[in-house]
Amino acid sequence: MTLEPYLLYALAGVGLFAIGLYALIARTHLLRKILALNVMGTGVFLFLIAIAYRSEPVADPVPQAMVLTGIVVSVCATGLALALAHRVQTTTGRMVLAENDESGA
Amino acid sequence: MNLDHWLLVFILLSSFVTGLIIFFLKEEAHRLRTLLNLFGALLKVILVGVMIAGVQANHVYESRLELLPGLDLVLRADAMSALFATLSSVLWLVTTLYAVGYLEGEPHRSRFFGFFSICVSATTGVALAGNLITFLIFYELLTLSTYPLVVHRGTEKSLQAGRTYLIYTLSGGALLLLATVWLHTLAGPVEFSLGGALAQVATQHRSELIAIFALLITGLGVKAALFPLHGWLPQAMVAPAPVSALLHAVAVVKAGAFGIVRVVYDLYGVYTAEALGVLAPLAGVAAFTIIYGSVRALFQDDLKRRLAFSTVSQVSYIALGTALFGYLSTIGGLTHLVHQGIMKITLFFCAGIFAHTLGVHKVSEMAGLGLRMPWSMAAFTIAALGMIGVPPFAGFISKWYIGLGAVGSGSYWAVAILAASSALNAAYFLPILHAAWFKKRQDPWPADHAHGAGEGHWMLLAPPLVTAALVVAAGVLANAPFSPLEWVRYITEIEYGK
Amino acid sequence: MTLWDTAPWLLWSIVLPLSAGILTFLFRRAAPWIGIATTLGSVVSVAGLAAQVVHSGPLRYSVGGWGVPLGIDLRADGLSVLMLVMSAVIGVAVSVYAARYFSDADATDERAVQAHQRAYFWPLWMFLLAGLNGLFLAADIFHLYVTLELLGFAAVSLAALAGKRAAVVAAMRYLLVSLSGSLFFLFGVAILYAAYATVDLTALAGKVQPGPLAWSALALMASGLLIKGAVFPLHFWLPPAHANAPTPVSALLSALVVKASFYILLRLWFELFGAVVTPATATFLGLLGAGAILWGSAQALHQPRLKLLVAYSTVAQLGYLMLVFPLAQNAGSALTAWSACVYFVLAHACAKTAMFLAAGNIAHAAGHDRIADLDGITQALPLSVAAFALAGISLIGLPPSGGFIAKWMLLQAAIGSGKWGWATLILVGSLLAAAYVMRVLWHAFTQVEVARPLHRVPRTMEWSALALSLLAVLLGLMAARPVELLRSGAPVSMHAPGQT
Amino acid sequence: MNAPDDFTDDTRLTPLRLMIMLFVLTLAGALGWAVCSLPAYSSGLAVTALAELSNSGVLNPVTAAVLNYRGYDTLLEIAVLLLAVIGVWSLAQAEPPAAFEPASPVLLSFLRIVLPLMILIAGYLLWIGSFAPGGAFQGGAVLAGVLVLLRLSNQDRAIWSHEVWLRFCLVLGLSVFIAVAVGVMAGGGKLLEYPRAHAGMLILLIESAALISIALTLAALFVGGRALSDEDSSRASDNGVQPE
Amino acid sequence: MDTLQTVFDLVLVLALLWLAWRVLAAADLFKGIVLFIAFGLLMALAWMRLRAPDIALAEAAVGSGITGALLLSGLARLRRLERSAQPHIGSEP
């Protein structure tokens, strides 16, 4: 079996998604969680672009348009998450989510 | 717009709308609230009167609302519903008067009378329900609207009673819902009709129908206080006297009993039920409850608790009459539905007067009460004698017919139950009467609010006198047209196809 | 054909709130009025759309005129119309409530905080509404992803609006959950596109075949939606986020936002993956629902704070929705189960909004929401307590409320297909709901001195809660037409013969 | 550079982490297996997209997909951008510029050369997007880079102190997009159905407006809080909303 | 099949995965973010390789550039807060 390029990259996308997911769950620092989300997102985008690459001779533009949308959404998400994380730090003094603070103030 | 379609809706709304308006009245608007209450009650009695006249003239009153495709909310006036609707609307009128007098000066009256009115609407709805789902809807509404009445006092004890009440009734309601849905999936939309509607289904789904019957009776038995589901009833005694009167005579307990009657006669049909073999166990439970309630009543010193256990016992007469397969026992059971209502409400009215005016709560405190309050005590005496089954009062008539029916269907054990129960009734009522009339008072009254001036307020006194008069009338005039007995006879003839 | 009949009503339910988002961002002073007008406008447009769907069946609309597969289609059938009606009606009530809520501070220090909240509540809420309506109308799974993100961003920002420590922490958790859920969903979309070269729901429906691709897409999308929809055991983020937000926000999040994920799951499950799902997976989802009902109710029974109790009740109630998956397995009861859960969504939305608004009123008047100390204050606010009680009736499923009709249909589906376990669960859940609702109502009847409210509760705030709770109860009496409407566009598999 | 908080994440393999890892590996394995069953060749929608390219008003198929075929996605995406800014502003206030050190003269003279160039590149990317790789997002990002650099050199007070103007520019992209999308319906078309003859021009119009909004949005995200002259809410920040 | 191409693909993919892991495992957040920016640039290369120049541009400008700037400024704010708050916040549980 020959490894088609698209398949290699698609699998790499899955790999990135998995690495990001692991870090999202296992890491506690909010900045790392935000980084993890970005890596996860990139994994999905890589998958999409890889499958678009199957089309010959021009890559399928529709997944590319989707990824463009996705990239912009993810930068917005990063901005929002950073602002929120900053607020978490200013109110709790730390940049992690404590285990039990459901009851709150 | 056809009046025939709307009459039943108006009957419901006459008290429901009144209740809603009362919620928004200021606590101090005493006069307006009383006027509204009485207006609603009177209007309802009049409308029910119109309905009875119409039913007599073979008018069909029916209102429908499609709940879901294939599932209708049905209000229908038939002979059976007319019986219960009349009972509830007349007794409501009387109780309203009593409650106004009883609660004078207490807090949260707008809340009380609002729920009071809604409670009666729910009862009327139970009476007019034309199928099981409609019955269920009003049955649950009844639960909800009586809870605030039970906990009205707001004491720890009454809240506890309310909690018990809800646990029992909501669980019962859940079983009833389960049974209703099950029946709906088996038989499709089934409407109440004299003679029953499930004869067809019974041939194919025998065991299912038996299970559904058991679920239905268990669900209804909670409110009808069948043993062992009666636990909430004595606790609910902490409620104010008008509430107890309403709960025992008109609304809750009676709705349960009426439900059993509906299920046996109008849903399954007495022949189908007999064929399924579900009546005998019901009769057994009812008989046990009769004896159990009487025995427990014997040992209660608290007057209202004694009356409560008496209710446990007496309501099961209705179930017993229903469950004994026979024309005459059916007449007895159904008549008792009405007769027990007027007798028990009289007793509770009087108990309320004793507690309210003199602070007398216990049987042991009742010595000499007859001399102090002859009129109230006379009403109490009539009702108590009726309960025992002394002729010519109302209770005698119904017990007599149940007994006749039992003999007719060969259930001699039921006659024995009746006799034993009557003896027990006598055993727990007669000492009260004896003490009240013939014992000399030694101690002062626990709390004399009337300051030695004899009877209580006229608004308290008038209702039991009226209902006591009804107890006498229902017994003496049992064969007059429009008497409960005659009306029941009419129903029973249709049911048994005579 | 009049203009009313032919107007593209479905567009207005998206374009109106989008434009309102811009306007409320630009003109703060007029924002409450713009907000209320927009929600009223969306009621009108939904009415128009409903008339069209009732009259001529499900609609499709090709944005840009391209059509499937290149372009994006919108579609409106019975289900989406009902969802739109829900968001519009809840929207009006919450907007009216919010207009007073955010301008009712007595003290000056609170006034400044409120000015801030008011300035951002309206644009965020308008975008939330646009996202919701867009989501309900989308027939394109990638577009669903975009609307999910729009919805998620707005919801998270709203949840953080209270600014307090608990709210911010909860919002942060919510954001992480929401973003990761969306990414799971997006990956599923990508796999489906990779396999079938289209993202249109209807076009895909004809193509999806059982196999590793469909399974993994289903697994990814479902898990993304389950976590966003706070389905047990992935509900951990919901109670703090919903309970610590400003009251109108709590209502919106609990009533509408979590439903969006469920709506998509419903669509995917029955339309897209109809051929792929197995009874075991359906039962698995049902068991999650059972866990949600029992665990959520148990938690609600132990919460010391009113708003947390209401939030846990949302966790429990969402569990009922999951029962549709096992109950719709039998062809005979599929349509009933499907109608039941959609009606459940509607009834729960009204009841939960009313409940949160009422709880908010009580907390506002009392200055706290510790359930143990609410006696005096509940008796000072009879209208709000009545709203809470009526909403509770619907949550418990007592007749004649909307919740009752929904549970009736659920039971009918369960018993009709002989699934007694689920039927028992439904009843037990009702009793548990009764227990936690009564925990609160209890205090309205105790014997105490009626307390003087710390803050006055404006009448509009009490009445909007009461109006919605009345609606929740009355929903039980007007179920016939919505349920009829639901058949328009219900999944084909459900039109089995012998349906009632 | 290594404050203690960085190390709260220890990366040792606890049993819990091992379980998470196993779960993630299983997921990845299953997904990988599924991915392997994809058809090796699929033109996706490429054929259709290219066939319709002449009707789309642009020559770059990706731009056609972004702004025409799937323009509705992009419309909501622009809304997401705006929403993100509103969200960030609702959360926090921008730190005062004083937090940054005054820029060095060297940097300033460097910027004087670079910034105009970046603006040119941004414009070029916007323009070229119609027939070659590029477009509003790429251009907008470059333009945002300009604003970021200005921010870093503390030269951007003029931008962030005009609250009204700023908001107007932020909503510009979405407003124009909606206006065009709805406007084309006046001719009897559907939402976003550009008349063939004007498609290119309309797309460019939308992109130009979007470019400005995107750039400002990204820069606003970088600033990380609402502008200083934001009157209503800056007062609020003294009281609990921003307890610093 | 062009072997060189395959080798390039493999190297690129492995580098991406390794970088991603390093980004998330880095003990030093600053290092992590810098690595993330590098990761973004490498992604841009992958996009070019996969015939997606539009995405490559967007990734370079948005994914790597702006996101990197956002993260760095976020980190800077974090550090500033930590520095200013350390005396009192250290005592908080």
DSSP string, A24-67: HHH--BHHHHHHHHHHHHHHHHHHHHHHHTTSSSSPPHHHHHHH
For helices C279-302 and C420-441, give the axis angle rounded to 10 degrees: 20
* Residue C44 counted as domain residue: no
What is the least distance, in Å, from the CA of D201 to any CA of chain A?
20
For chain C, say whether A87 makes contact (Cβ under 8 Å): yes
Contacts of C76 (CB under 8 A, 6+ apart): C10, C49, C52, C53, C58, C59, C61, C84, C137
pLDDT of residue E10: 93
Tokens of C25: 């961002």
* Residue E21 counted as domain residue: yes
* Residue C416 counted as domain residue: yes
Tell me the chain E residues in contact with residue D3 when contact means C-beta distances shorter than 8 Å: 78-79, 82
What is the least distance, in Å, from the CA of A41 to any CA of chain D?
15
- pLDDT of D239 > 80? The answer is no
Sign of the dihedral through C-alpha D28, D29, D34, D36: positive
The Cα–Cα gap between C156 and C160 comes to 6
Tell me the chain C residues in contact with residue D192 when contact means C-beta distances shorter than 8 Å: 63-64
The Cα–Cα gap between C153 and A93 comes to 24
Beta strands in B53-190 (DSSP E): 61-68, 71-77
* Residue E43 counted as domain residue: yes
- Could you tell me the end-to-end alpha-carbon distance of chain A, in angstroms, rounded to an integer? 60
Q: What is the DSSP string of C303-335?
A: -SBHHHHHHHHHHHHHHHHHTHHHHTTSHHHHH
* Residue C85 counted as domain residue: no
Tell me the chain B residues in contact with residue C500 when contact means C-beta distances shorter than 8 Å: 69-70, 188
- pLDDT of D241 > 50? The answer is no
pLDDT one-digit tens code per residue, D160-206: 878 888 999 999 999 999 999 999 998 888 899 999 889 999 999 99
Mean pLDDT of B99-125: 87
Which among E29, E61, E70 has the least Cβ separation from residue D142? E61
For helices C459-474 and C78-101, give the axis angle rounded to 10 degrees: 160
**Which residue is closest to D179 within chain C, CA to CA?**
C19
Confidence of residue D146 (pLDDT cuts 50, 70, 90): very high
Q: Which domain holds residue C415?
A: 278-500
Confidence of residue E86 (pLDDT cuts 50, 70, 90): low
**Which residue is closest to E21 within chain D, CA to CA?**
D11
Beta strands in B315-393 (DSSP E): none
**Yes or no, beta carbons of A51 and C193 under 8 Å apart:** yes
Sign of the dihedral through C-alpha E24, E28, E29, E35: negative
Q: Is B12 exposed, middle or buried (0-12, 13-18, 19+ CB in 10 A)?
A: buried
Cis peptide before D97 (omega within 30 of 0): no
Q: Which domain holds residue E73?
A: 3-85
Tell me the chain E residues in contact with residue A49 when contact means C-beta distances shorter than 8 Å: 46-47, 50, 52, 55
Mutation for testing the D interface, residue in C11, C18, C129 having most D CBs under 10 Å: C18
Place of tokens 């996009």: E47
Confidence check on the interface: ipTM exceeds 0.85, yes or no = yes
Mutation for testing the D interface, residue in E57, E77, E82 having most D CBs under 10 Å: E57
**Yes or no, beta carbons of C179 and A77 under 8 Å apart:** yes
- Number of domains into which chain C is organized: 1
**Yes or no, beta carbons of E62 and D5 under 8 Å apart:** no
pLDDT of residue E85: 67
**Yes or no, beta carbons of D171 and C72 under 8 Å apart:** no
Tokens of B356: 């309210």
* Residue C351 counted as domain residue: yes
* Residue E90 counted as domain residue: no
User: Could you tell me which residues are beta bridge partners of residue B65?
Assistant: B73
Residue contacts between A and D (CB atoms, under 8 Å)? 155
H or E segment to which residue C16 belongs: helix C9-26
Tell me the chain A residues in contact with residue E52 when contact means C-beta distances shorter than 8 Å: 49, 52-53, 59, 64, 67
Q: Of all residues in chain B, what percent carry a pLDDT higher than 70?
A: 98
pLDDT one-digit tens code per residue, B216-244: 999 999 998 888 888 888 888 888 888 88
Tell me the chain D residues in contact with residue A61 when contact means C-beta distances shorter than 8 Å: 45-46, 49-50, 61-62, 64-65
**Yes or no, beta carbons of D191 and C63 under 8 Å apart:** yes
For chain B, say whether C391 makes contact (Cβ under 8 Å): no
pLDDT one-digit tens code per residue, B422-438: 999 999 899 888 888 88
pLDDT of residue B498: 63
For chain B, say whether C420 makes contact (Cβ under 8 Å): no
- pLDDT of D243 > 50? The answer is no
Residues 119-158 of C with CB under 8 A from D: 119-120, 123-124, 127, 130-131, 134, 142-143, 146-147, 149-150, 153-154, 156-157
Greater confidence (B373 vs A78) lies with A78
- Contact flag for C and B (3+ C-beta pairs < 8 Å): yes
Greater confidence (C107 vs B112) lies with B112
- pLDDT of D242 > 80? The answer is no
pLDDT of residue C1: 53
Which among E6, E52, E85 has the least Cβ separation from residue A93? E85
* Residue E81 counted as domain residue: yes
* Residue E91 counted as domain residue: no
> Neighbours of A (≥3 Cβ pairs closer than 8 A)?
C, D, E
DSSP D101: P
* Residue E34 counted as domain residue: yes
The mean pLDDT value of chain D amounts to 84
Q: What is the pairing mode between strands C59-63 and C72-76? A: antiparallel
What residue ranges define each of the domains in chain A, with the CATH number in brackets? 5-92 (1.10.287.3510)
The Cα–Cα gap between C330 and C337 comes to 10
**Which residue is closest to C422 within chain B, CA to CA?**
B178
Tell me the chain C residues in contact with residue B184 when contact means C-beta distances shorter than 8 Å: 412
Nearest to C137 by CA among C212, C52, C222: C52
The Cα–Cα gap between B491 and B476 comes to 21
* Residue C398 counted as domain residue: yes
The Cα–Cα gap between B17 and B22 comes to 8
Q: Of all residues in chain D, what percent carry a pLDDT higher than 90?
A: 52
Domain ranges of chain B: 284-498
- Number of domains into which chain E is organized: 1
Residues 423-482 of C with CB under 8 A from B: 423, 427, 430-431, 434, 438, 442, 445-448, 476-477, 479-480
- pLDDT of D5 > 50? The answer is no
The Cα–Cα gap between B474 and B411 comes to 27
What is the least distance, in Å, from the CA of B262 to any CA of chain C?
20
Tell me the chain C residues in contact with residue D193 when contact means C-beta distances shorter than 8 Å: 63-65
pLDDT of residue C351: 96
pLDDT of residue C291: 96
For chain A, say whether E85 makes contact (Cβ under 8 Å): yes
pLDDT one-digit tens code per residue, B296-334: 998 988 888 898 999 899 889 999 988 888 888 888 888
Query: What is chain E's Cα-based Rg?
Result: 18
Mean pLDDT of D115-143: 92
Question: If DSSP codes are grouped into helix, strand and coil, which group holds residue B196?
Answer: coil
**3-class SS shares of chain C: helix, strand, coil, % to 5:** 75, 5, 20
pLDDT of residue B204: 85
The mean pLDDT value of chain B amounts to 87
Lowest mean pLDDT among B83-87, B456-460, C50-54: B456-460
pLDDT one-digit tens code per residue, A18-49: 999 999 999 889 999 999 999 999 999 999 99
pLDDT tens string, chain C, 500 residues long: the values are 577 778 889 999 999 999 999 999 999 889 999 999 999 999 999 999 999 999 888 999 999 989 888 999 999 999 999 999 999 999 999 999 999 998 866 666 677 888 888 899 999 999 999 999 999 999 999 999 999 999 999 999 999 998 889 999 999 999 999 999 999 999 999 999 999 999 999 999 889 999 999 999 999 999 999 999 999 889 999 999 999 999 999 999 999 999 999 999 999 999 999 888 889 999 999 999 999 999 999 999 999 999 999 999 999 999 999 999 999 988 888 899 999 999 999 999 999 999 999 999 999 888 888 988 888 888 888 899 999 999 999 999 998 899 999 999 999 999 988 899 999 999 999 999 999 999 888 888 888 777 778 788 889 999 999 999 999 999 999 999 999 898 887 876 675 444 43
pLDDT one-digit tens code per residue, B258-288: 999 999 988 988 888 888 889 989 999 999 9
Residue contacts between C and D (CB atoms, under 8 Å)? 172
